[in-house]
Amino acid sequence: MVFLILELLTGCHYQKHLMNKAKQIIEARVYALTDLNMISENKRLILSRGRLISNSEYRDYKQFLIDYFKLTNKEPMIKGSFRASLVIHTYKDLTNLIKPIFDALEGAEVIENDRHLTGFDEFEKVTLKKGQPDSFYVSVWGV
């Protein structure tokens, strides 16, 4: 089917775009984790004796993600600009769950730096009932 579409678009300015998109999909690194208790960026620091200190629960969660990404990634680091797809199943605030994921991808050397993220092809929250375990799917590829 894909080849038929590409044949129909031969000579069309969309052909190069579609070929690049197909290459990105083939080269994407895909990760999925289920049955999690995702930790929010809001829990990164806690106040103790009048000082902000690193929260061990947050550090442990981030280290777990780094270890998982390192274990499952066999490809060279994505240097420079990259795009991503992200789907999170959770009851929690979505915006605070994103940062630890991309920090861990950087820590595991899947991506060079999370600031090079140029956009999302898919970005979705699937809302769960309170108390259900979280899960996420993330895919990253160089552009």
Task: Note whether residue 106 is domain-resident.
Answer: yes
Q: What average pLDDT does range 91-113 have in this prediction?
A: 95
What is the CATH number for 49?
Answer: 3.30.1330.70
Range of the domain at 114: 29-142
Task: Note whether residue 108 is domain-resident.
Answer: yes
Task: Note whether residue 1 is domain-resident.
Answer: no
Q: Looking at the 3D structure of the chain, how many domains does it have?
A: 1
Task: Note whether residue 22 is domain-resident.
Answer: no
Q: Mind listing the pLDDT tens digit for each residue in 12-27?
A: 445 554 555 555 555 6
40, pLDDT greater than 70:
yes
Task: Note whether residue 88 is domain-resident.
Answer: yes
The pLDDT assigned to 30 comes to 87
Tell me the percentage of the chain whose pLDDT exceeds 70.
81
The pLDDT assigned to 26 comes to 57
85, pLDDT greater than 70:
yes
133, pLDDT greater than 50:
yes
Q: What is the pTM of this model?
A: 0.80
Q: Determine phi and psi for 66, rounding to 5 degrees.
A: -60, -45
Q: What average pLDDT does range 41-56 have in this prediction?
A: 88
CA distances from 95 to 82, 90, 98 (A): 19, 11, 6
Q: What average pLDDT does range 109-131 have in this prediction?
A: 95
Q: Would you state the structure tokens that stand for residue 81, as one six-digit string?
A: 């600009």
Task: Note whether residue 83 is domain-resident.
Answer: yes
Task: Note whether residue 115 is domain-resident.
Answer: yes
Confidence of residue 110 (pLDDT cuts 50, 70, 90): very high
Task: Note whether residue 7 is domain-resident.
Answer: no
Cα within 13 Å of Cα(7), Cβ side: 4
What is the three-state SS of the chain? CHHHHHHHCCCCCHHHHHHHHHHHHHHCEEEEEEEECCCCHHHCEEEECCEEEECHHHHHHHHHHHHHHHHHCCCCCECCCEEEEEEEEECCCCHHHHHHHHHHHHHCCCECCHHHEEEEEEEEEEECCCCCCEEEEEEEEEC
